[in-house]
């Protein structure tokens, strides 16, 4: 079973970028590609933050889990967050989930 989050926090430590996606509504959950739409607070401390509508796409389900639970769970391991209306850039952010 895959846990279906209503929010995501993406942090690019080397770039100081933080993205908090909220109110995510998913379609295709548990299939090869899950897509969610919601809103996100994007930006960084130097340039400030703003809120925009976003689309999140998750792919590549893998076996996951740490220590005694290694391989016990399934999780999406790759994703893309695309900025939609309300933001200045329309950029996309590709990400991978972190292991243990």
Write a three-state SS string for the chain: CCCCCCCEEEEECCCCEEEEEEEEEEECCCCCEEEEEEEEEEEECCCEEEEEEEEEEEEEEEEECCHHHCCCEEEEEEEEEEECCCCCCCCEEEEECCCC
Span 21-41, pLDDT tens digits: 878 889 998 899 999 988 888
Mean pLDDT of 92-100: 66
Span 76-92, pLDDT tens digits: 888 888 887 655 556 67
pTM, entire model: 0.75
pLDDT score of 54 more than 80: yes
Supply the mean pLDDT for the chain: 77
Higher pLDDT, 95 or 61: 61
Residue with tokens 């925009």: 52
């Amino acid at each position: 079973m895959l846990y279906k989050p209503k929010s995501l926090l993406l942090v690019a430590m080397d770039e100081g970028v933080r993205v908090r996606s909220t109110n995510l509504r998913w379609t295709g959950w548990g299939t090869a590609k899950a897509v969610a739409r919601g809103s996100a607070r994007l930006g960084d401390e130097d340039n400030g933050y703003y809120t925009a509508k976003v689309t999140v796409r998750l792919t590549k389900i893998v076996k996951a889990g740490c220590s005694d639970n290694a391989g016990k769970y399934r999780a999406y391991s790759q994703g893309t967050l695309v900025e939609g209306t309300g933001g200045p850039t329309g950029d996309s952010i590709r990400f991978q989930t972190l292991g243990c």
